[in-house]
Structure 1
Amino acid sequence: MNKFIIQVNGTVYGSTASFRALRFTESVLSLGHQVSSIFFYQDGVTNSSALICPASDEHDLHRAWERLAKEHNLKLVNCVSAALRRGVLSEQDAQENNKTSANASNHFVMGGLGELVTGIEESDRLICF
């Protein structure tokens, strides 16, 4: 059994990176492997926006990440610097930056690159999308 950390760099829509990362994660979990965390970096932080509203006939990647995390007790981590630059704010970030609202889903936590490095050290494989 391997332990993976998954890094998602691609935007929620507009590329296939997030969808491929989701399917890969589902696959390794179904094979009995572990996933220490999913780290959303660069445009990947857009996956955490609670304001994403795909058409009813489209796959809702945001909700799919939330469901997967809940089912498998996975940690979804946003790079806080990348998120702030892209307007994805947690409640705490909104308060600290004097913004009137937040849009990051509560299922995602904000973290730094240190969490990614720690996750890499504790895992057997880093897979980037």
Structure 2
Amino acid sequence: MKFAILVTAGPFNRQAAGSALAFARAVLDSEHELVRVFFYSDGVHSANRLAAPANDEHNLVRDWSRLATERGVDLVVCIAAGLRRGVREANLAPGFRISGLGQLVEAGILADRLITFGA
């Protein structure tokens, strides 16, 4: 089965972003395919390489970057949501790319299931 993930929750204020990462890892560790992870709304903060979580917090920005680098996951940040929240090419974490909502639509077409984390 092919999955796409939509992340709308920020990385440090809700459990949803961490759950999205755990789900992505589970998909990759199974016989399923992860088509794309699309970050929208406050979810775009997951792509900000300038984020500095406390030592006792999970660094989801780093963990998403590793997933992209090590497993080849396509991590796409909505350009409009990113610009509104100060996420630009200059501060984009490794493994992420900026694009438009068309990438979310395409992911929904290519995937059997689009799973949303955050509301």
Map 1:6-25 to 2 at 5 A.
6-25=5-24
Following TM superposition, by how much is the alpha carbon of 1:106 offset from its aligned partner in structure 2, in angstroms?
Answer: 3.6
* Counterpart residue number, 1:117: 105
Residues 69-114 of structure 1: CA deviation (Å, up to 9, x unaligned) = 1121011000000000111111xxxxxxxxxxx2122421111111
- What is the distance in 1 between the residues matched to 2:7 and 2:23? 11
- Could you say what the CA RMSD is over the residues aligned between the two structures, in angstroms? 0.9
- What is the distance in 2 between the residues matched to 1:22 and 1:105? 15
* Counterpart residue number, 1:93: none
**TM, length-normalised to structure 2:** 0.94
Following TM superposition, by how much is the alpha carbon of 1:57 offset from its aligned partner in structure 2, in angstroms?
Answer: 2.5
Structure 1: segments with no counterpart, 5+ residues: 91-101
* Counterpart residue number, 1:85: 84
Question: Given that residues 68 and 96 in structure 2 are in contact (C-alpha distance below 8 angstroms), is that contact kept between their aligned partners in structure 1?
Answer: no
* Counterpart residue number, 2:68: 69
Question: Given that residues 65 and 94 in structure 2 are in contact (C-alpha distance below 8 angstroms), is that contact kept between their aligned partners in structure 1?
Answer: no
* Counterpart residue number, 1:47: 46
Q: Which amino acid aligns with 2:115?
A: I
How many residues are paired up?
117
Structure 2: segments with no counterpart, 5+ residues: none
- What is the distance in 1 between the residues matched to 2:80 and 2:110? 23
Q: Which runs of 4+ in 1 moved over 3 A?
A: none
Greater alpha carbon shift after TM alignment, 63-72 vs 38-47:
63-72
**TM, length-normalised to structure 1:** 0.87
Percent identity of equivalent pairs? 44
Bigger Rg, which one: 1
